Amino acid sequence: MSLVSRSAVPAAAIAALAFSLVAAPRAQAQDAAASYPARPVRIVVGYTPGGATDVIARLVATRLADKLGQPFVVDNKPGAGSNIASEQVARAKPDGYTLLVTTIQNATNMSIYKNLRYSTERDFVQVAQFMASPSVLVLTPSLPARDLASFIALAKARPATLSYASTGVGGSPHLAGAMLNARAGLDLLHVPYKGTSPAMVDVISGNVSASFMTTLGVLQQMKSGQMRPIAVAYSKRLAELPDVPTMAEAGLPDFEVVSWNGLGAPAGTPPAIVAKLGTAVTEILQTPEMQERVKGLGGEVVLRAGPVFSDYVRSEIGKWRQVAESARIELE
């Protein structure tokens, strides 16, 4: 005669059922990650073809295809400071087959756009960073200032007369100038342009006094003296400009302005797939070939992945929110 009570049998059955309900989805997720990708993957880029973000996306996509055995197709969806692309991917099915190249604008947009229909923190999980391109404070050669201290002194002596160029309202060069105004107590006038090229032309010609620019596409102008680089907004000097001090060395500590990009996925994407992608991207970026290609784009490889990259993006959102709110920078 069995010693098991009648009530114990249903309890055991319920426990077994509960375990199966928990274990089955977990096993399915593991199976999905093991077979991922089983079809082509789309990587959405919120910028036009040919720029640094598009170029690095295509370099990584080609090597992901080689490594993981399925096509990774770059799809350019420019417009609204990458918000069109970001919103589209935020609403995509979180299965690892629609990804986004996230950039510094996914951090700054959280503060300057008041009617966004997505949140970088809520709607995305960060996979891995690709590269970082530090900004350099450059002056027009006609200014008598030769370093950061003399430029600050000159700007204080001539309030609301010196100006700085940006690549558009709300972009990182605009926010960098606003941060300089706040940190150094200046009143530099903001002059927005539609892109780097016209901003660079007017800095060279003297129509504007200064700008924060990365070395992407303008390194030769910095080296030749057409623009005078006086400080690097980064934690270390740039190999391409070894004689230019960092902002901290020049007297303004904790002043970093870095254009960055990486890979993001819709929130809810299985962690195993995110981890698989993050590992693959990191391995790709560690190759000497990719290190040289990124250097050729004017940046450097930064190996942040998963939670570490997410923490960095979160810190960027917080930093630029303070700057935008202080300067009252806002777009609809």
Q: pLDDT tens across 125-148, in order?
A: 999 999 999 999 999 999 999 999
Last residue of a domain, one of 216, 250, 284: 250
Identify the CATH number of the domain in which residue 226 sits: 3.40.190.10
In a domain, 29, yes or no: no
Handedness of CA 216, 129, 125, 284 (dihedral sign): positive
Q: Is residue 218 located within the same domain as residue 266?
A: no
In a domain, 277, yes or no: yes
In a domain, 235, yes or no: yes
Beta-carbon count within 10 A of 77 CB: 19
Identify the CATH number of the domain in which residue 268 sits: 3.40.190.150
Phi then psi dihedrals of residue 214, to 5 deg: -85, 170
Query: How many H helices and E strands in the chain?
Result: 13, 10
Q: Which whole number is the average pLDDT over 236-253?
A: 95
In a domain, 28, yes or no: no
Q: Is residue 75 located within the same domain as residue 139?
A: no
Last residue of a domain, one of 221, 250, 279: 250
Cβ-based neighbours of 179, under 8 Å, separated by 6 or more: 255, 257, 323
Handedness of CA 27, 29, 33, 36 (dihedral sign): positive
Token duo for residue 6: 């009648």
Q: pLDDT tens across 149-193, in order?
A: 999 999 999 999 999 999 989 999 999 999 999 999 999 999 999
In a domain, 88, yes or no: yes
Q: Is residue 127 located within the same domain as residue 139?
A: no
Q: Is residue 262 located within the same domain as residue 128?
A: yes
Domains of the chain: total:
2
Q: Is residue 236 located within the same domain as residue 142?
A: yes
SS3 state of residue 45: strand
Query: What CA–CA distance (Å, rounded) separates 254 from 291?
Result: 26
Q: Is residue 160 located within the same domain as residue 246?
A: yes
Confidence (pLDDT) at 13? 61
Q: In Å, how far are 8, 14, 15, 23, 112 from 5, measured between CA atoms?
A: 5, 15, 16, 27, 66
Q: In Å, how far are 12, 15, 19, 87 from 4, measured between CA atoms?
A: 11, 16, 21, 58
Phi then psi dihedrals of residue 78, to 5 deg: -75, 160
Q: Is residue 298 located within the same domain as residue 191?
A: no
Q: Is residue 75 located within the same domain as residue 216?
A: no
Q: Is residue 117 located within the same domain as residue 178?
A: no
Q: Is residue 262 located within the same domain as residue 303?
A: yes
Confidence (pLDDT) at 284? 98
Which pLDDT band holds residue 33 (cuts at 50, 70, 90)? confident
Q: What is the pTM of this model?
A: 0.86
Q: Is residue 177 located within the same domain as residue 270?
A: no
Last residue of a domain, one of 250, 275, 304: 250
